[in-house]
Structure formats: structure tokens, C-alpha cells
Chain A
Amino acid sequence: MPADPFGLLIQLQLWIVVALFALLLWHQVGQAWRDRRDLVRTEAVSEVLDRWSLEEASDRELLETLEAATVHSAWEAFQTGWIDLSDVLRYRLRELVRSGGWFRKVERSARSVFWWRRIDGAQILGLLAKREDTPLLMELLQDRRPLVRLAAVFASQSLSFPELREPLLEQAIEASGVRRKAFQQTLLSYGDELIPLLHRRLRDAENPRELDVVLELARTISEGANGGDSLVHSIVPHTTHPDLEVRIRAAAALGRCEVSTAVPILHGALRDTAWEVRAQAARSLGRLGAIESRDELRRLLSDPHWWVRLRAGVALRELGRPGEDVLRDVEQSDDPFAHDMSRYVLRLDDRALTTYEA
């Protein structure tokens, strides 16, 4: 029979089993107890909040109930009760929680060593924060835990404090593809207020990753935003950026800026060495409905790359009758590339065209 090391392994297995069952018991008993406790407290806060909103409970009663609740259970109560509160009541509540000591509990939670408590703090700040809490929110936006940063982004979306715009943009730039989209959505909630920041970043940024994010925001904001067209002048220099993705994004962004100054710039992009940029520029011209681009788009029907020819053809279709006339004319030409593409595009029905325009 093997000696001690083996015996040790056997003992270790037995201890592991004991530990597993102990953890299970702890979880079952402890967690169940915590859940019940939190539920009781959440219900208590909800009930008092309801009565307080109807002026059937005093400020003091609400504060006392909050004092007895954890930040998490208060959050659970607020997130359902908040939507029923008027703006006046929300304002009163924000002031009220600062008059007692309860808000310090929220601040401590937001700075806790435990990440889940920082999430609780971030979530409740999303409802109760004032401008003076911006430094705390900025700390949370730069937290080392991605989930805490995400919770801070949620909070920022509902607050729209100007000081948070730049930290949010930094987060969007640093985040990976999937998370970046989420941060960008939050930034878009600032609407036109984002434009000055975008101007500055477009002017100063050199990093392609940063430009990628900023140009994407510019593209989305430009559509329908007041002052969005002013972004054209900040976007233009990036149409000749060494990075391919930046040039593509710049061409796409110009397609949303409905100003005539974008058109000549896009004509320049039609001569880019990369087919992706030429294709995007053609697409943007079609989107702008730039009739003066007919000749340039016609030239592109002979481009060596199929996708460029296609985008030029679809763009001509988007110009309406003038563009279709060009296509019919080219259909009679000797150039096989241009001839084939014109024929193809002219025969696309509306549904197919919509697929390309999407």
C-alpha cells in the first residue's frame, strides 16, 4: 500500500467534499437569510416611498427606513418606484437623502473594496446623483472592473452631466467592439451637446482607434442634429488619413452631413487607392442625393473593383431620374464593366435596392 502522499490525497478529497457541502449549507442558509432580509427591507422602502410620494409618510420616516436598508435593497425599491415620481418629487428626494446620513452610505458603497457594492453604489447614483457627485461617478467610470464601469455608464446615461462626456468618450475608445457600442449609445443620449467635444477630438486625435469611435459618433450625430453639419470641417482632414478604417469612417460620416461642402470632398475620396474608401464615398454621395456627382459616379462604373462599380451604380439609382439617365446611357457603351453594372443595377427592383441602401 502506498505511503503518506497518497494518504494525503485521499484526505484532501474528503476535506474537499466536506468543504463543498459546508459551502452549500452556507449558501442555502446564509443566502436564503440574506435574500429574505433584503426582500423585507426592499418592501419596506417601497411601501414608505409610495406613501411619501402621496404625502402620507414624513421625510423622517423615509430616512429612517432607508437607514435600516442596504444600498442594494434601496436600489431595488427605487428602480421600481422612481418612474412614478414626478420631477418635483425626484428633486425633493435627491435633496432629502443628503440631509440625513444615508447618502454617505451610498458614497461608501461606491468606494467599497467589494466590486458588487460599487455596482450598487453606481446604480443608485444613476437616480440620486447631483452635479457635485461627478467626481465619484468619474471614479466609477475608471474602475478596474469592467462591470462596475458598465454600471457607471448606465448611471451616466440617465444623468447626462456635461463633465461626464469626456470620461465616457474615453471609455468608449478603450472598450472592445461589443462594449464600445454600448458606451457609444450612452454618449448619443447627449445629442447636440456632444458636438463641441467631437469637434475638439476630431481636431486633436491622431490615434486611429480614437478616430474610429469619434467618427462613428459624428456620423450618427450629424443626422438630424443642429450644428451637425459643422462637423464637416472637422471630418474633412481625416479623409486623407493614413489609416484605411479612418478614411472609410470619414467618408461614411460625410454622407450624413447634409451640406454641399461634403460633396467635393467625397469626389476626392472617389480617387482613393483603397477600393473600400471609393465604395463608401460612392455610397455617401448616393445618400446625399448629390446630382452634381453624376459624372464622377459614371466614371466609377468602370472601376476595376466590382463593389465600387456596384456602389456607384446604386448611388446613381438613388439620384433618381438624372442618375438613371446616366445608367441608360452607359448601358449602350462599349465598356463591358460599366455596361454590365448599369444593366444589373437598372434591373434591381425596389426591394433589392433597399437591401443595398441599408
Chain B
Amino acid sequence: MTDALHEAITQGVQLLDAPVLWYFAVLNVVAGVLFLVAAVEVWKDWTRVSRLHLSDRFPSRGLPPVSVILPVRNEAETIVQTVAAQLDLRYTNFELIVVNDGSEDRTFQRLREEFDLYEVPPAFPRKVETETIRGYYRSMSAGRLVVVDKETGGRRDSLNAGLSAASYPLVAAVDGDTIVDRDALPRLVRPFLAREEVAGAAGTVRMANACRFRHSVAVDPRSPESLVAGLQLPEHLRTRLFERIGWNALGGALVLDGALALFRKDLLLRIGGYPVEPSSGDPDLALAVQRELRKSDLSPHRLAFIPDIVAWAQVPEQLEQARHQRERQQQHLVRGLWRNWRMFLNPRYRWQGLLGVPLLAARAAAPVVEAVGYVILLLGAILGVLNLGYAALLLFLVLVFPLLLSLWSALLEQVTYGTYPRQSDLVKVLGYVLLEPFGYRQLDLWWRLKGMARFLYGGSPGEDERENRRTKLVSDRLTAAYDDLEMDARG
């Protein structure tokens, strides 16, 4: 290497090392403050609000009725089990609207046969424009069930068709991928009763891997057995649970798990229906709803996040699946931020605009900065200009501090919500927390970088993989749930 090049690289390394450290130092402090806020919020929720037992205290007819919308397409194999499981939700007053999005297999025929459907006229005006509706159906055997048969238009189009057909003031979109907890609805309505201006609410979606279910309730919740799934747990606890609790305390959720989110129907209609397709773990839906509410002068309606478990979802157990998911999530994150760039540092959006969106943007860019940090380390070592202090600080900021937050999250989760009652599971969870920063995190970094590159160069998120996984995993889970229902029905 020539002296000039050596000198140039050395100067580059020395120029960049401080900004990299500052980047993570600030990000970590903000995350840490969020966690402190979350700690207080968890205490408040756990010790006070949960104990109010709103759903027990309210007369059942006083609880707000909910329309649950389930869009389906080409799910003949699993549709009966999926619908049966959703009909078994423990809530007095709800309807299930299954929207058949132009399935090309026997999805609709299976529904018709199993639930004894009969056609009904549309007893309401269409409120959101969607693809052509072929017919509306009710069931002779399941009074809560409504089926909307329509031309193919995509998931968002189907949700909007369901929204038009919904009779009740609150609507929830569910996903065929997800096992909705039987007690999800009474938990999700709590924010609507506890506060005034709530536009939507979502709860925690936990990992279904290795858990055993009965009637959509995890009767034997276990920590994941697969290493790949287990290594995703620490990040899940950090970002999907406690960080969201922190945001909730500061002014509302920035990211809602699209697997099960409850919205006020009137507000969704006023903003023209679902603005984007809900998908798991990305900010698109929450940001889009906030933006549209603000445009329609419907603020300060907030989006609430509750720490209670409302659903269970399978996470990838193979590296290849995990890679696809991470790449897709990073694309969704960047896309969501790109679509909502107007909210960035915009005081009109209060906390979300001034702090939330910038933090999300920093998170989105973190893989790049972290990669630069590692490159600096490597170059420094190669060129013999490695600053040990820098190396130690970088490792503390990107590995040790998040590890400590994960450890804290795992322990707090255990003492409050106690999802995994067995000691052996807690030990496994702690093991995953300690292992995650060494190897898996770096893989995750690489995947996220690829996801960003794909977004920038216009690649697709790869839905086929998801479809295959969904069919197999949901089929297993829900066959078991359906068998339980059948056994109970036979007494």
C-alpha cells in the first residue's frame, strides 16, 4: 500500500471514529431514557390498571362491540381452522368478518360448506371504495360470522372492504399467520375505556415457537428451543416490548404490530380507510394513521400500546427464513420513514415528529453506522493505528449496553408478566441474551444492510417464502386448536 493511501485511510479512520461513537452514545441514552420511562409505565400498568379488571367489572353489554376483520386468499387448507379459532375469542360482543380476496382455490367453497353460508343483501352503504364485491354471506351455524366475497385487490383492499361491512365502532384486523390470544379483545379495549382520544391500540405479540396452545391460550408457554428463534428473543423484548411501552408513556406508539391492532372505525373511515397494509413490526401503519389523523384535524388522538399479550406468532427457526424476515423488516422500516418524511422534526406531530420519527430514522441508519464502526476497527487493526480506547467504547456502545438492556428486559418481563413460568426457560432466555451480541447481531446487521440496499435499488420483500411458512406453521398450530374445539363440542 502506498504511503499516500495509507495516510488517507488513517485520516479517514480517525475522522470517522468519533462520529460513530457519538451516534451510538446518543442513541443509547435515548433508548435508556425510554426504558426508564417504560419501567415506570410497567409498574403503573401492572400494579394498577390491570388490577382494575375492566372487563370483569363492566356489564358485558357495556363493553364496546368489536368487528374483527380477517382477509384471506388461497387458504383452503387452513381456512376452517383459522375461522373456528377466531370465532372462539373470549368476548361477549364481536363479529368476525372474513374477506375472501378473490381466492383461486377452494377457500370460499370450504367456508360455504363448513359454516353453512347463505347470501344476504348488503344492509349498509359502501363507505370505502374497493374492488367489486361479489356477495355478502352470513352463517346458519355461526351467528357472529360474516363473509365478504370480492375480486382480488390485495390485503389493504380487503381490509377496507371489511371496514365498510363492519357494524361495530371498533375494528381489528387480524392475520392468518397469527394466533390471537383468546383474551385479546378485552385487553385491547382497555385503552379506549381508560382514556379519551385513543384512535387505536395494539398489544404485545409473543413468540409462539415451542408453545402449546389450547383454545388460543398458551397453556404451556416455553421459550424457543431453536437457537435461531431464541436469538431473536432479546431484540423482541427490547424493541417490541419495553421500548414501545416507553413511547406509549410519552405520547403514543410509533410502531404497532399489525398482527392485531384495534382502531376506531369512525376515525379510520374519516381518513379513507386503512392507509397502508398492516404488517408486523413496522412503523408504516402507525405513522400513516397519525399523519392522516393530523391532516384531518383529528389530533390529539393517540395510538396506545399495552404490554399485555394479545397474540402469538411464529418467528423463523431457520437462518434463511430469518434473513428474509430481517431484510423485509428493514425495507418496511425505511419505506415507512420515507413515506412519512414530513413528520421528521415537525412540531405539528409533537413527540412523534420531534423525537419518535428521528429516533426511528436513527435506528434505520444504525446498521450502516455500525458497519462503518466495524470497518474502522478492522482497518485500524490492519494499519496498526487501532485505538484500543475506541475499540472498547465501540464494543460497549453496540454490544454491551444493548446486552444490559436485554438482560434487564428479560428479568423485568419475568417478574411482571412472567410469560415463561419455568426456571429452565428463564435460564434459556438469559442464555440467549448473553449469546445474541456475539454472532447473531452481526448477522442481523448484514441482513439489514442488504434490506436497505434492496429498498434503495427497488427489490421486492419476497412474499413467497412467507406464504409457504405460513401455511405449514399455521396449519400445525390451528389444527391443534381446532381439534380442541371439536373435542369440547363433543363433550
Contact = CB atoms under 8 A, between A and B. Distances in A.
A355 B123 contact: yes
Interface string B6-48: 0000000000001001100110110011011001000100011
A178 interface: yes
A20 B415 contact: no
Nearest to A275: B125
A12 B32 contact: yes
B197 to A, nearest CB: 7
Nearest to B38: A20
A186 B62 contact: yes
Contacts of A197: none
Contacts of A358: 123
A9 B169 contact: no
Nearest to A351: B118
B135 to A, nearest CB: 12
B169 A177 contact: yes
A23 B44 CA distance: 13
Interface in B400-422: 401, 404-405, 408, 411-412, 415-416
A1 B61 contact: no
Interface of A is mostly: helix
A83 interface: no
Nearest to A22: B39
Given A27-B415, A182-B193, A356-B121, A116 B62 contact: no
B189 A6 contact: no
Contact of B39 (A13, A20, A182): A20
A31 B47 contact: yes
B3 interface: no
Contacts of B219: none
Interface in A207-251: none
B185 to A, nearest CB: 13
Nearest to A20: B408
A24 interface: yes
Interface stretch (A57-65, A105-113, A143-151): A143-151
A243 B404 CA distance: 58
A185 B59 contact: yes
B39 A176 contact: no
Contact of B29 (A16, A27, A186, A355): A16
A175 B62 CA distance: 14
B351 interface: no
B288 to A, nearest CB: 22
Interface in A1-26: 1-2, 6, 9-10, 12-13, 16-17, 19-21, 23-24
B52 A16 contact: no
A6 B26 CA distance: 9
Given A119-B48, A147-B52, A182-B64, A17 B193 contact: no
A307 interface: yes
B400 to A, nearest CB: 9
A182 B26 CA distance: 45
B222 interface: no
A1 B155 CA distance: 52
A2 to B, nearest CB: 5
Contacts of A176: 196-198
A355 B28 CA distance: 56
Contacts of B389: 1
A10 B25 contact: yes
A178 B170 contact: yes
Contacts of B138: 351, 355
A351 B196 contact: no
Given A2-B18, A9-B29, A178 B189 contact: yes
B35 A16 contact: yes
A154 B21 CA distance: 54
A348 interface: yes
Given A12-B32, A27-B43, A151 B22 contact: no
Contact of B120 (A19, A119, A147, A351): A351
Nearest to A150: B193
Given A178-B193, A181-B62, A355-B121, A21 B43 contact: no
Nearest to A177: B169
A2 B196 contact: no
B36 A19 contact: yes
B52 A2 contact: no
Interface in B184-212: 189, 192-198
A178 B192 contact: yes
Contact of A146 (B118, B119, B196, B404): B196
A261 interface: no
B91 interface: no
Interface string A336-352: 00000000000010011
A28 B42 CA distance: 12
B296 interface: no
Contacts of A104: none
Interface string A185-220: 110000000000000000000000000000000000
A179 interface: yes
A299 B35 CA distance: 66
B271 to A, nearest CB: 15
A308 to B, nearest CB: 11
Contacts of B415: 24, 27-28
A173 to B, nearest CB: 13
Contacts of B61: 185
B217 to A, nearest CB: 24
B25 A177 contact: no
A24 B408 contact: yes
A119 B193 CA distance: 14
Contacts of A185: 59, 61-62
A147 B49 contact: yes
Interface in A91-144: 116, 119
Given A177-B264, A178-B192, 15 more contacts: A6-B22, A12-B29, A16-B32, A17-B404, A20-B35, A24-B39, A24-B411, A116-B48, A154-B58, A178-B198, A181-B169, A182-B193, A185-B62, A352-B119, A352-B121
Across chains A and B, which 5 residue pairs bring their CB atoms closest together, nearest first? A16-B32, A185-B62, A9-B25, A178-B192, A116-B48
26 contacts: A1-B390, A2-B22, A10-B393, A12-B32, A13-B25, A13-B29, A13-B401, A16-B35, A17-B408, A19-B36, A20-B405, A20-B408, A23-B43, A27-B43, A28-B415, A116-B47, A147-B194, A176-B197, A177-B169, A177-B266, A178-B170, A178-B189, A179-B193, A179-B196, A348-B121, A351-B138
